[in-house]
Amino acid sequence: MNAVKRTRRQGLSESQFGYLMVFPALLCIGLIALYPVVQTFWLSLHRLRLQFPDMTKFVGLQNYITIFGDDRFINATINTVEFTIVSVALELVFGLCIAMLMNKEYKGRGLMRAAALVPWAIPTTVSAMMWKFIYNDQLGVLNDILVRLHIIPEYKAWLGSEVTAMGAAIVADVWKTTPFMALLLLAGLQVIPRELYEAATVDGASAWRQFITITLPLLRPTILVALIFRTLDAFRVFDLVYVLTGGGPGNSTETLSVYAYKTLFRNMDFGMGSALSVIIFVFIFIISLIYIRILSSGSSAE
Amino acid sequence: MKKNRVNISGILFYILVIAVMLIILFPFIWQILTSIKSERELWSIPPIWIPKKINLDYYYSVFIKRPFLTYIKNSFIVASSTTVFSVLVASFASYALARLHFKGKNIILSLVLAVSMFPGIAIVSPLYIFMMNVHLLNTYIGLIIPYTTFTLPLAIWNLTTFFREIPFELEESARVDGATYMQTFMRIIFPLAAPGVFTTAILSFISAWNEFLFALVFNTKDMMRTVPVAIAMFPGEHELPWGDMAAASVVVTIPLIIIVLIFQRRIISGLTAGAIKG
């Protein structure tokens, strides 16, 4: 009430009131998101181990030089890129299929949509634990199913082998996030006018042809937005890998975020860890710029 | 239209739908089955799919032998406080962004969108040092502050969409009657946007409830852990407590499933609003 009176007395103009209203949000974002990024960069220019704060020393770009010559960093970058590209591509394909299933009218459609929200809603650590048990070499149901179907001859340690661990992590991620992708794409499908399909059917266009000439082009902006969200999410993947494999076996699933986390909080090496964080930030920034470029070039061409 | 016409493609279609639903739900169904097995059934090779009788030992173990209720309480306090702060701060900002004229609105919206893309790992080191220096490690506030900030972008985008849909005449007539901007906002716009506010609250709650990195790093004391971290920490030194983990996941997932079933329409519209219009 006090605020109301003051507003009236001082007679705030519309724009003054506007700035007043956005101020708390900008304050939060500025203090807790933007300023810390600058701080991370500043930390990354130091040799700084949290156990020995007195030995902190400014070293310029030394941490970055060390990182770029480090095989573990190259390995983590390759893992992250592989994880991102494969899982996002699979999510897009499956997501599009599921979205089209949900876009049809049939009994039980609501149930299908609710089911799709379940993987999205549960914490990633919980879904990672579920999959860890499914993949278990002795007790896991995946081995049981595959052996019963005679697809594999004997039980495998899916998460224990450098060959299969990354694939296993990707499957778990695809399971968790495809439904979200499908819901985003479904929203895009629903705004495509039905008449377009009716007209195409009258003209004798096959279902596949309708998909290529109507659905895909009109869905392009939605697909791009969904891809942005998912690519950036996949690129910073942390909880899933942390719980499922911890980056192992032998760093074969270690992503950049997991590497940065271990450097920061296992080794307590805040200089090096911050440098890794800054690199992740820069990668994310570049990916966003590329997507924004593609998005804006698409809309100006129309 | 095509009622009663049972044809092969219709049956195939349903088989496909059911197959997709099974794949989506299978890990969860398996987790429920695991959680009610007996010790012997759980450790049998090959796995026994359906337990002979329902066994609640693992639930007992989760709640009595482990402080799981404390973890739930921690998560609940952190997530609900985050929701309140986030919705409050976001609705102020969204009202201004949706309905008032002032310079720099687009810049602010782009900034907000940019922050939603921020990787948590990029700021965790200075925030950790900050929280350590002001003694906010292992506290609720230490999590509520970053959570509020990182739920703001989605909340602001959502609420801005909702606030835009309210007719402008209502506001104008209130202004003509001598109401201040604050009064118009509190008495007219905010109540009318209630469904949008509610949707935003659900989304903020779920995202705060599920957060992992900050919770893992800031709250390391066992009694201050949130549910996602607690579950990730279940594996001890020795054999993995699969039964406990299954029971705990079921306990955490069921309330979320109920929320999702009740509010699915709202959640879906909230999740997709930004993507389609933005």
CATH number belonging to the domain at A72-301, selected among 1.10.3720.10, 2.130.10.10, 3.10.20.440, 3.40.50.11540: 1.10.3720.10
Of A80 and B172, the one with more pLDDT: A80
CB atoms within 10 A of CB A180: 22
Minimal C-alpha gap between B270 and chain A (Å): 10
Q: How many CB pairs under 8 A join A and B?
A: 276
Contact B275 A138 (CB under 8 A): no
Residues whose CB is less than 8 angstroms from the CB of residue A183 and which lie 6 or more positions away in sequence, other chains included: A99, A102, A113, A116, A117, A120, B268, B271, B272
In this structure, which CATH number among 1.20.1250.20, 3.30.930.10, 3.30.460.80, 1.10.3720.10 belongs to the domain B67-277?
1.10.3720.10
Element (H, E) at A89: helix A71-103
Percentage of chain A with pLDDT > 70? Answer: 95
Residue A279: its chain B contacts at CB < 8 A?
Answer: none
Question: What ipTM score was computed for the predicted complex, to two decimals?
Answer: 0.89
Each residue of A64-119: pLDDT tens digit?
A: 999 999 999 999 999 999 999 999 999 999 999 999 888 887 777 888 888 888 89
Using alpha carbons only, give the angle B34, B254, A104 rounded to the nearest 5 degrees: 105
By Cβ distance, the residue of B93, B185, B245 closest to A129 is B245
pLDDT of residue B275 exceeding 60: no
Express each pLDDT in A195-236 by its tens digit. Answer: 888 888 888 888 888 888 888 888 988 899 889 889 999 999
Rounded percentage of chain B residues whose pLDDT exceeds 70: 94
Q: Which residues of A touch B260 (CB under 8 A)?
A: 114, 117-118, 121
Q: Determine, for residues A15 and B101 on separate chains, whether the beta-carbon distance falls below 8 Å.
A: yes
Cβ <8 Å between A236 and B120 = yes
**Spacing of C-alpha A169 from chain mean position:** 13
* Contact across the interface for A39 and B126, Cβ inside 8 Å: yes
According to the model, what pLDDT value does residue B130 have?
Answer: 94
Pick from B77, B97, B87: nearest CA to B195: B87
CA distance A27 to A67: 34
In this model, does residue A122 exceed pLDDT 80? Answer: yes
Q: What residues does each domain of chain A span?
A: 72-301
Q: Please indicate whether, in this complex, the C-beta atoms of B46 and A116 are within 8 angstroms of each other.
A: no
At B229 the pLDDT is 94
- Paired strand residues for A47: A57
